[in-house]
Amino acid sequence: MGGIEFLKGHGTQNDFVLLPDPDGRLDLTRARVAALCDRQRGLGADGVLRVVRPSAVGLESAGEWFMDYRNADGSIAEMCGNGVRVFARYLVDAGLVDGTEFVVGSRAGDRGVRVHADRSVTVHMGPARIIGSSVTAVSGRELSGVAVDVGNPHLVSFIDSDVADLDLRTQPAFDSDVFPAGVNLEFVNTLEPGRLRMRVHERGVGETRACGTGTVAVVAAALHLTGTDTGESTVDIPGGTVRVTIAPGESTLTGPAEIVARGELDEAWWSAADRS
């Protein structure tokens, strides 16, 4: 029997293992996802994107393909903004969709995507809803933040000192009464009007070099703090730069998406990974 097909890709260095599984045959357990994402004993990635038909896994979408996203620790998350760009890039490259504009299903709802000739991808990310405020603590400092729902939860803290100086090697504290299912934490410098710099500590992963939903959250929060709900901004993250637009009930994210490699997982490794 042959191995299990995989691809490796990234969007602004937020990296993923893609598992083409149209008929939902893979037993994608938490242990297997964590093993795949482990940078020593697996392929290494921030998350897994299973490419599956929604009907095969009993999920609703008007799209032909569903992005079944898992964090590196094996937990399921609703949405991944960098992942959906890489997912769309793969569907186009593999000839699994007609044209370059289509809908991708996610647990946060359907997302319209457009794959551009320069290989960047624009995603309609849905509403970025300001849901309140909360606090976090990092590098010995307590910081207040704006809570934003982009299908998944975010807390955005603007700081005056350079975000590069924060220690994000361990989980920053957050209020689990406000975020019972955990939260993605963004730390932001305003460089100039329309240009932000961000670092992120992702739920279920740790610090990553980019978070697409996080960049949408920070632009929505920045606009909210200046008393508006409409605008756009560039966001610099350690892994590159993306462009975000925000309007009432809608947001877009544009950035690069790359497929780096493809191959086959060893069947024996896959079986054993469920017991690791």
Ligand X SMILES: N[C@@H](CCC[C@H](N)C(=O)O)C(=O)O
The phi, psi pair for 92, rounded to 5°, reads: -70, -50
- Which residues, 20 to 59, sit near ligand X by CB under 6 A? 47
| Total Cβ atoms within 10 A of residue 233 | 22
Contact between 219 and 231 under an 8 Å Cβ cutoff? The reply is yes
Q: Tell how strand 240-247 and strand 184-192 pair up.
A: unpaired
Residue span 75-114 as binding mask against ligand X, x where in contact by CB under 6 A, dash where not: --x--xxxx-------------------------------
Q: Is 164 helix (H, G, I), strand (E, B) or coil?
A: helix
Q: Does 14 bind ligand X (CB under 6 A)?
A: yes
Query: Which of helix, strand or coil describes residue 213?
Result: helix
Q: Which span sits near ligand X by CB under 6 A: 31-39, 127-135, 185-193, 202-210?
A: 202-210
| 125 is a site residue for ligand X (CB under 6 A) | no
CA distances (Å), origin 195, targets 151, 220, 231, 240: 24, 13, 12, 13
- Across the strands, what pairs with 199? 187
> Nearest distance from residue 96's CB to ligand X, in Å?
21
Give the residue numbers annotated as catalytic, written as ranges.
Answer: 80, 211
Sign of CA dihedral 105, 111, 114, 115: negative
Beta carbon of residue 216, minimum distance to ligand X (angstroms, whole number): 8
**Judged by CB under 6 A, which of 54, 127, 145, 212 binds ligand X?**
212
Task: Report, in Å, the least distance between residue 47 CB and ligand X.
Answer: 6
Q: Tokens 């009930």 sit at which residue?
A: 249
Q: What is the enclosing helix (H) or strand (E) of 272? A: helix 267-273
Of the residues 61, 184, 245, 254, which one makes contact with ligand X according to CB under 6 A: 184
Q: Which position among 86, 205, 222, 265 is part of the footprint of ligand X (CB under 6 A)?
A: 205
Residues forming a β-bridge with 269: none
Q: Is 254 in the site for ligand X (CB under 6 A)?
A: no
Is 61 near ligand X (CB under 6 A)? no
Distance, in Å, from the CA atom of 155 to the CA atom of 135, rounded to the nearest integer, reads: 8
Query: Residue 68 CB, nearest distance to ligand X (Å)?
Result: 13
Give the nearer residue to ligand X in terms of CB position, either 14 or 122.
14
**Which residues here bind ligand X, judged by CB under 6 A?**
14, 47, 71, 77, 80-83, 152, 184, 202-205, 208, 211-213
Enumerate the known binding-site residues: 14, 71, 81-82, 152, 184, 202-203, 212-213
Enumerate the known binding-site residues for substrate: 14, 71, 81-82, 152, 184, 202-203, 212-213
